[in-house]
Copies of this chain bind each other. A is one copy, B any other.
Amino acid sequence: MADLSFKDFATDQEVRWCPGCGDYSILKSTLKALAEGGSDPAKTVFVSGIGCSSRMPYYIETYGFHTIHGRAPAVATGVKLANPDLDVWVVTGDGDGFSIGGNHLLHALRRNVNLNILLFNNEIYGLTKGQYSPTSRKGTKSPSSPGGSLDAPIGPGQFALGAGATFFARGVDIDQKRLPGLLIESKEHEGTALVEILQNCIVYNKDVFEDVAAKKTAADTQVQCEHGKPLLFGKNSDKGLRLNTANLSLEAVTIGEDGVTEADILIHDETSLPLAQMLVNLAPPLPVAMGVIYRIEKTPYEASFRNRKTGERRRQVKDLLRNGYVLDRRGIRD
Partner of A134, one of B100, B110, B134, B147: B110
Interface size class of A (residues with CB under 8 A): 35 or more
Whether B163 lies near A154 (C-beta < 8 A) is yes
**Min CB–CB distance A233 → chain B (angstroms):** 21
CB of A275 within 8 Å of the partner chain: yes
Q: Mark A150-163, 1 if CB is under 8 A from B, else 0.
A: 11111100111111
Partner of A152, one of B110, B249, B272: B110
By beta carbon, the residue of chain B nearest A102 is: B103
Q: How far is the CA of A229 from the CA of B268 in the complex (A)?
A: 33
By beta carbon, the residue of chain B nearest A70 is: B103
Segment 217-239 of A: residues with Cβ below 8 Å from B: none
CB of A261 within 8 Å of the partner chain: no
In the complex with contacts A245-B245, A248-B274, A272-B248, A305-B150 CB distance below 8 A: yes
Which residues of chain B are within 8 angstroms of A249 by Cβ–Cβ distance?
A: 274
CB of A197 within 8 Å of the partner chain: no
Whether A155 lies near B164 (C-beta < 8 A) is yes
CB of A83 within 8 Å of the partner chain: no
Q: Which residues of A approach B to under 8 Å, CB–CB?
A: 100-103, 106-107, 110-112, 134, 147, 150-155, 158-164, 243, 245, 247-249, 272-275, 277-278, 298, 301, 304-305, 308
